[in-house]
Structures are given as structure tokens and as C-alpha cells.
Amino acid sequence: METDEVMLQLDSLVEKVDGLIKQCKSLEQENADLSERVTQLESELEQKTESENNFSTQKAQIRSKIDSLIARIDSLAENQAAEE
């Protein structure tokens, strides 16, 4: 009887180990998928940051041109006022 009991316990242990191995493989795959997703999100974030930086640069250039035009208009207005 003891041998049968030991064999049943071993079979149970083998099933538990098999279950743990399957769970480990599943978790490894999930980890790989999540790592790939993190890499993808980091790339998207980098692209968005780059776009924001480009937008900020363009905005500064536009602001500079507008300020320059306003200064020229003010100068012309002052010259016309001085001539009158």
C-alpha cells in the first residue's frame, strides 16, 4: 500500500511541476510581450517629444518674425508721425 501511496504522491508532484513549468513559460511570453510594448511606447514617446521640440522651434521662429514685423510697422508709424 505504501508504494501505491508514494506513486500517487509522485504523480501529483509531477502534475504540479508540469503546471508550474507551463505557468513559467506563459509568464516568460507575457514578459517578452510587455517588454516589446514598452519598447514600442518608448519609441512613440521619443517621436512625440521630437515633434514637440520641432513645434517649439517653429513657434519661436514664427514669434521672432512677428516681433520683427511689428517692430518694422512701429518704426514706419513713428516715421510717418514724425513727418506729419
pLDDT at 84 over 90: no
**Mean per-residue pLDDT, 28-54:** 98
Which pTM does this prediction carry? Answer: 0.63
Of 1-10, 18-27, 32-41, 55-64, give the lowest mean pLDDT range.
1-10
Q: In whole angstroms, what is the distance from residue 53 CA to residue 48 CA?
A: 9
Interior angle at CA 63, CA 58 and CA 66, nearest 5: 125
The pLDDT, as a whole number, for residue 47 is: 98
Confidence of residue 22 (pLDDT cuts 50, 70, 90): very high
